[in-house]
Each structure stands twice: as structure tokens, then as C-alpha cells.
Structure 1
């Protein structure tokens, strides 16, 4: 929807409804700001949530023929 039909509909509303529309637009803008902040990753956020097995980085016997 473009701005012109939206403005046309808005101009036909009584003042009380225009105030409600204004409040709703403010709500949507604040919701947009929160969504942008929520998507920003934080370094170390998952610290302590994963455990590596004791031999995780040990060489695998399956790949010995490919190793020099």
C-alpha cells in the first residue's frame, strides 16, 4: 500500500480515531526498534552451554590414509 491511499483513508477518520492511529504507529515504530536490537549477537552469549568431548580434537583413525 502506498502513502496516498493511506493518507486518504486517514483524512476521513474522526479526530479520536486519528489519535488511535497515531498511537498504533508509535507502537509499531517502538516494536521495530526493539526487533533491531534483539537481533544483534552478543559475544560470549552461549558460554557454558556446550561441552566438548574429552577427545574431540584427537586425530581420527578413519582418515589416516589421507594424512601425510
Structure 2
């Protein structure tokens, strides 16, 4: 099992650093390699992928909660 894989849930926002999931704990995860659907913004989503930085996730899958 790859320990760099992660599943993150939270509110999807578009911030200056890019598409971001803000978790309930207030953590910000910047998403890479993804173009979310417009109806996902401001709503709860879950993303799965590989951690590629301190706060970056290279997304394999993104969906509404």
C-alpha cells in the first residue's frame, strides 16, 4: 500500500493558489490535475489521490459527497 495516497473531504473552493478543498478542521488542500464541474464549487466533495507536497493532492478521482 502506498502511504502517499489520501482521501480528503470538504468544501471545494477556487482560491488564488488553485482549486482547493477546505476541510472541517480548516485545512486547505490544493488540487492538481483536475478540472472540477461548476456545480461542485461551494459544495462538499471527496477527492482521492497522491500527496505531492505539504498541502497538494494530485487527484485521481473527485466526486460530490
TM-score for both structures, normalised by structure 1: 0.18
Q: Give the structure with the higher percent strand.
A: 2
Q: Give the structure with the higher percent helix.
A: 1
User: Whose relative contact order is higher, 1 or 2, with alpha carbons under 8 Å and at least 6 apart?
Assistant: 2
TM-score for both structures, normalised by structure 2: 0.18
